[in-house]
Amino acid sequence: MPDVKIRRELLDTLFALGKSQHPNEFLAILKFKNGVIEELELAPGTISGRSSASFDTFMMPLDTNTAGSAHSHPSGAVRPSEADLRFFPKTGKYHIIVGAPYNDDTWKAFMANGEQISIEVV
């Protein structure tokens, strides 16, 4: 099990984004800062409909600080879709899904292969 940490403030930002975009999805790239997932970049043009189709064509320059991705599931089902599993390996190692109603009980983290992991909130 990898030792991965995320800042409390960033997690709260992800919940707020989920709420503000509901019932649409948001997609963000997560960045490491000093070994902790602490920053995000919103993917331009990917705040769109309920479909994950836009993820297939999503492109953003990734650098060594890229931790992975975060996106929302307005349906509340917090597990990767088939589209997510195609998308994850292109976007880093660690991937967070926040489901409606977007709180501490409705998010999970996954490896690029879809295996669920626990991320420590710091």
> Any idea which residues carry the catalytic annotation?
25
Complex with Zn ion: residue 21 or 36, whichever CB lies closer: 21
User: Does 54 engage in binding with Zn ion (CB under 5 A)?
Assistant: no
Asked if 30 and 92 touch (Cβ cutoff 8 Å), the reply is yes
User: Does 24 engage in binding with Zn ion (CB under 5 A)?
Assistant: no
Whole-angstrom Cα distance, residue 36 to residue 110?
16
User: Does 95 engage in binding with Zn ion (CB under 5 A)?
Assistant: no
Exactly one of 13, 21, 65, 81 binds Zn ion (CB under 5 A); which one?
Answer: 81
CA–CA distance from 71 to each of 2, 9, 88, 90, 98 (Å)? 21, 16, 11, 15, 6
User: Does 84 engage in binding with Zn ion (CB under 5 A)?
Assistant: yes
Complex with Zn ion: residue 54 or 81, whichever CB lies closer: 81
CB of 35 to Zn ion, least distance (A): 26
Beta bridge partners of 72: 98
Total chain residues near Zn ion (CB under 5 A): 2
Sheet holding 5-6, edge to edge: 116-117, 107-111, 94-99, 66-73, 27-33, 36-42, 5-6, 120-121
User: Does 21 engage in binding with Zn ion (CB under 5 A)?
Assistant: no
In the complex, the residues that contact Zn ion under the rule CB under 5 A are 81, 84
